[in-house]
Amino acid sequence: KQEVTQIPAALSVPEGENLVLNCSFTDSAIYNLQWFRQDPGKGLTSLLLIQSSQREQTSGRLNASLDKSSGRSTLYIAASQPGDSATYLCAVNRDDKIIFGKGTRLHILP
Amino acid sequence: EAGVAQSPRYKIIEKRQSVAFWCNPISGHATLYWYQQILGQGPKLLIQFQNNGVVDDSQLPKDRFSAERLKGVDSTLKIQPAKLEDSAVYLCASSSAGGRGRALETQYFGPGTRLLVL
């Protein structure tokens, strides 16, 4: 059974710092992995999608890496801003079943 | 491009009552998903439609939950009767691709319906 774990559960960092969010999954046979952002009281916004054949994807200040063999992905946020405060979720897809982690609650201190 | 629409945004009911949620996906999106997100947890897939057919409903509590997607566009999710543990946010999402064995394309999520069962 696929399990997705995100560490840490919560994180507070001063504005301007670079930070890394971690995601691990137990079954490496995935089609792809996706990182989402969720703001309080709102739905999810897709940030980056990494296909199983890829090792990383970049969008602006965000960079996501995937090491399928070790069952790990990281989301790197450069030069953090208060507007980055949100919950970040990763999700893996295998056999058309999408499994989410519980998320990391990120708070950027002004 | 209009996003995924959901209504109502909030609903408070008493246990054993019935409730229905509505979702209108992005125009042209063949695949529609309903998720349940309990506070502090990640979303859990309840049911996935490809056009008006069910692709996966393995995690749908079928004794009390039902969903339909008539004409392959809008969808409704119903709970009857509701239990306290059904209190959660119900998220609807859609994507332009999907189906068994296909790589996941980006899903677009609606704002969700927050349900509180008293």
| Minimal-distance CA residue of chain B relative to A30 | B103
> What's the CA gap between B44 and B37, in Å, rounded?
6
Q: Residues 6 or more apart from A105 whose CB is under 8 A from it?
A: A9, A10, A11, A87
Per-residue pLDDT of chain A (110 residues; tens, 9 = 90+): 889 999 999 999 999 999 999 999 999 889 889 999 999 878 899 899 999 999 999 999 999 999 999 999 999 999 999 999 999 999 998 766 789 999 999 999 99
Neighbours of B12 (CB within 10 A): 12
Q: Which amino acid is at B76?
A: T
Cβ-count burial A13-51 (b if 16+ within 10 Å, e if not): eeeeeebebebbbeeeebbbbbbbbbeeeebbebbbbbe
Query: Hey, are the CB atoms on A89 and B43 less than 8 Å from each other?
Result: yes
Residue among B41, B56, B110 minimizing CB distance to A97: B56
| Minimal-distance CA residue of chain B relative to A41 | B111
Q: Which residues of A touch B24 (CB under 8 A)?
A: none
